[in-house]
Each structure stands twice: as C-alpha cells, then as structure tokens.
Amino acid sequence: MSGMSRQLLHVRLQNMYKPGKHILVIGITGGGKTSTLFKLIYNLYKQKETVIWRDDANLEFLSFADIIPLKVFLPEGCTLHHEHPNVTYVPFDHTRLSRLFPQLERDSLNVILFDLFTLSHKTSVLFWTEFFQEIYRYKRSRIEEPWAVVIDELNDLAPGTRRGFIQGQLTLSSNIYHSAKKFRKMNLRLVGSTHNYNDLHPPLRAQFNYYLFKAMRRDMVPERFWMYAHKIEALPIGEIWIVDEGGRFQMGVTWSEYSVHHLDRRLIRLSPKRIGLPWSGEVKEPDKKRKVEAKWRSRCVKLAGLLIEHEVVKGYADLAELLGLSDSYVWKLLKSSGDVDEGSVKFVGDESDR
C-alpha cells in the first residue's frame, strides 16, 4: 500500500472514534474478539469518554487493573473477594438505577458487575431492561458528555428471533435497538461483540456504524457481507476487516492502523476468574409484592412530577385522591423513591400534611 493510501486509511478510520459511533466486533471464540474489544475500550477511555462496561461474569475487566483505575459497581449485599490498589468497589441498589449514573466517572473504567451475582436469567434480563431505560432518561439531559456502553457477547442480551431463552428477552432486545437509534444524538455509543452476527436481534444489527471482523470460516460470514467472505476467512492473526456504515471497507487492518493510543498487550494480565477468584452474595428475583410496590412508586413519582410542574396539586391529600390511595401511602412511596428532590417534596406537601 502506498504512503498516500495508508495516510487516507488513517484519516478515514479516525471517524470511528467520533462520539456516538456504534461499533460491533464479530469473531469466533478464540479468534481475538475480546482482545480487539480491549483495545477499543482502552482507546475510548484515553480519549476521555465515560466508559461503562457490562461484565458478563468472566471478570475480564480485572485484566486492566494495572493500567486503568477501575470503579466496579456491585449489587448491595454482594462481594467480590479481591483487592487491588487500582480497583474501587461500590455497592449500588439495582432497583434504583437512577442513583447509579451520577456516580460514573470519566477518569475510571466503570464496570457494572451484576450477572455474576444472579443465577436467574430472568432477573438479569429485567435488570438490563431497566438499565437501558434509565440510562436514556439520565443521558438525554447531558448530551454534551461523550459516553460509551460496552457489552461483550451482546447477543446474550439482544438475541435474534427465536434465539432467546425466556419470555421478556424480546422486550430487552427491542429496548437496546430503540436505545441505539437515540444514543447517537446523545453522544452515547454502543460497543458490542458477538461470535455470530445472526445471533443478534435483526433490527439492532443495522444500527452499527462500524463492523470489525476477525478471521472466521467462510460459511459463518453473514449474508450481508458475503462478498467479503473469502477475504475474511483468509485474514492473518492480528488483522481485522473493517466495514463502515456506507459499505466502504478496508482489508487486513492492523491494530496500529485503527488505534489512536497504543496498548501494550503485555500490560494486560490474566483475568483472575480463571484461577478461581471467590465471590459471595446473590441477587434474587423480587417477589410479587415488591414488584407491585415498585410499579406504584414509579407511577406516583412520574405523576407527581407532572402535577407539581403544572401546579395542579397543593398537597398529598390532592395527589392521594387522584391516585385512589391513602395520604400516608403516597408519602411513603415518594419519600422512599429517592427520585423526588427536596424542593419537590416540600411543594407537594411536607410530613405534617399526612
């Protein structure tokens, strides 16, 4: 490749790092997919994006412990028995995700360690469904800040048609798809990986701006990219095939050609999960009573916000009458939600109103 062509290659591929550009890494197990994801994460962190990494219980994030500050969020009551001077563990209430996002830091790699602590696939699906809803609500008032949500094995959360495990997974897939469409305008990118393109929710597949292929058998190359199948199959170790949103492609791209910041692979150490890192605690599916109460709490908070905004209600008695609930119950719901600020609480009423 000539010097001019190589220069153009660098210029065009830097667009991949513009905020809000979604990236999908596709490769077979053991083909270097996770390694490529690591390099992307490192570059996004170095360019000052707030990176949020969903760990799928493999504890791969600890591979970065020696080179990047890690802020690891664990469900309350759960513990990862591991200490490192560069790792901070922060408990969070997984039923009140609105309190999680203000704690994220741009100067650290933010890890959501949830799936390690639940044996219920349904519980995991419910959590991540709520996560994508809440991050959209939070981020839309902070459009200027560049964020990145990184999900290894994205197909686990957003499986394709008839590839899900439980009822409700299609809802999560649809949530991620609709979120990805809106994220671009909010400077929030989605970075995912999958070993099989067809395992992903069909509408979501088309939302990515860049597709990074690692070497794989020709028959595993998706039909959409079949014209490149023989080239992808022949990719040497360490190289990728990049296709952008306009259908333009570059073959045999090395890491140095699509990186902004060099990551020395020798600095990434073996994930402790492979040597038996202990942990304790479990997140269980909430009982029916808690689900109903949480639903009413959410409805009360939303309605209270609208009524307060338009000055429809003067106190808790008015709000309770509209909801068909007791004054004290409405007060407890609003007070326990943590989503109504002090000013709003005083406007609706104070404790003496009950």
* Assigned token pair, 354: 């009950």
What does the block give as tokens for 162? 């008839």
Matching residue, tokens 């990986």: 193
Last residue of a domain, one of 237, 264, 280: 280
The reply to whether 347 and 219 lie within a common domain is no
**Domain with 310 in it: what CATH number?**
1.10.10
Sorted by sequence, the CB contacts under 8 Å of residue 285 that are 6+ apart come out as 120, 122, 123, 126
Q: What residue type is 149 in one-letter code? A: V
Question: Which pLDDT does position 237 carry in this prediction?
Answer: 81
Neighbours of 115 (CB within 10 A): 20
Q: Assess whether 84 and 215 both reside in one domain.
A: yes
Q: Are residues 35 and 175 in the same domain?
A: yes
Q: 268 and 346, same structural domain?
A: no
Closest C-alpha to 188, from 15, 45, 48, 20: 20
Tell whether 256 and 299 lie within a shared domain.
no
270 lies in the same domain as 293: no
pLDDT at 278: 84
Q: How many separate domains does the chain show?
A: 2
Are residues 312 and 344 located together in one domain of the fold? yes
Q: Which domain holds residue 339?
A: 288-353
Fill in the amino acid letter for 206. Answer: A
Which of the listed residues 260, 280, 300 is the one where a domain comes to its end?
A: 280
Residues 170 and 187 in one domain: yes
Whether 193 and 51 share a structural domain? yes
Consecutive sets of 10 residues in the chain, 354 residues long: mean pLDDT of each? 38 79 91 88 94 93 92 96 94 94 97 94 91 94 96 91 66 90 94 92 92 90 87 86 79 68 59 64 71 64 66 65 68 58 41 40
- Cα–Cα dist 58/138, whole Å: 28
CATH label of the domain that carries residue 21:
3.40.50.300
User: Could you tell me if 25 and 119 lie in one domain?
Assistant: yes
CA distance linking residue 2 with residue 176, whole number of Å: 41
Between CA 150 and CA 136 the distance in angstroms is: 15
Residues 6+ apart with CB under 8 A from 261: 42, 43, 46, 47
Q: Which of 280, 300, 320 is the last residue of a domain?
A: 280
Q: Are residues 36 and 68 in the same domain?
A: yes
The pTM of the full predicted model, rounded to 2 decimals, is 0.77
